[in-house]
């Protein structure tokens, strides 16, 4: 979804970069897990990357699972006034159906014990301050969700 939004925004004349959470996680020398401490550390790394990259682009799109409200609030504080939290929600059933990495199957088999938002030891805290929320469970198609995001970004960009 983020790369489709990037393409549409670029076609509209914006300079855009997608900072994928998995790519940022992989770029750091210290390999992080998914316990609360490592998630907080990874979110801090993402914010630092955004602070550097935002000088080079009109728009940064940062598709990450950021399950902790405190981390999202910290990111907003450091990156405002041009930080917007777009929360894509979905039902667990929908996530399981479109699970490209097979993570939910692995969690159900006990191979992953700390799957964010699925494991009891690693809950997902629903954002209390989302600027835009889109339920992607079933009613929103991919294209309409992308279009909603692109229009929101255009409306709120500094250009």
CATH number of the CATH domain containing 101: 3.40.50.300
Question: Considering the domain boundaries, does residue 116 fall inside one?
Answer: yes
Two tokens at 51? 């602070």
- Token representation of residue 97: 């159906």
66 catalytic per annotation: yes
Burial letters 86-107, b for 16+ CB under 10 A, else e: bebebeeeeeeeeeeeebbeeb
Range of the domain at 48: 2-152
Q: Which segments of the chain have a pLDDT < 50?
A: none
Catalytic residue among 12, 15, 66, 119: 66
**Is residue 159 in a domain?**
no
What does the pLDDT read at residue 140?
A: 63
Q: What is the number of domains present in the chain?
A: 1
Contact indicator for 157, 15 with CB cutoff of 8 Å: no
Q: Look at residue 139 in the predicted model and tell me its pLDDT.
A: 63
């Amino acid at each position: 979804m983020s790369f489709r939004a990037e393409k549409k925004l670029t076609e509209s004349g914006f300079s855009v970069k997608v900072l994928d959470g998995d790519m940022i996680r992989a770029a750091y020398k210290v390999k992080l897990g998914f316990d609360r401490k490592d998630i907080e550390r990874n979110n801090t790394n993402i914010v630092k990357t955004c602070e550097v990259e935002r000088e080079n682009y009109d728009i940064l799109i940062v598709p990450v699972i950021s399950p902790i409200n405190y981390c999202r609030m910290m990111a907003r504080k450091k990156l405002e006034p041009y930080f917007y939290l777009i929360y894509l929600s979905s039902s667990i059933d929908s996530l399981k159906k479109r699970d490209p990495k097979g993570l939910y199957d692995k969690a159900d088999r006990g191979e992953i014990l700390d799957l964010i938002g699925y494991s009891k030891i690693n809950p997902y805290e629903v954002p209390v301050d989302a600027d835009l929320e889109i339920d992607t469970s079933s009613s929103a198609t991919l294209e309409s969700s992308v279009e909603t995001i692109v229009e929101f970004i255009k409306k709120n960009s500094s250009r």
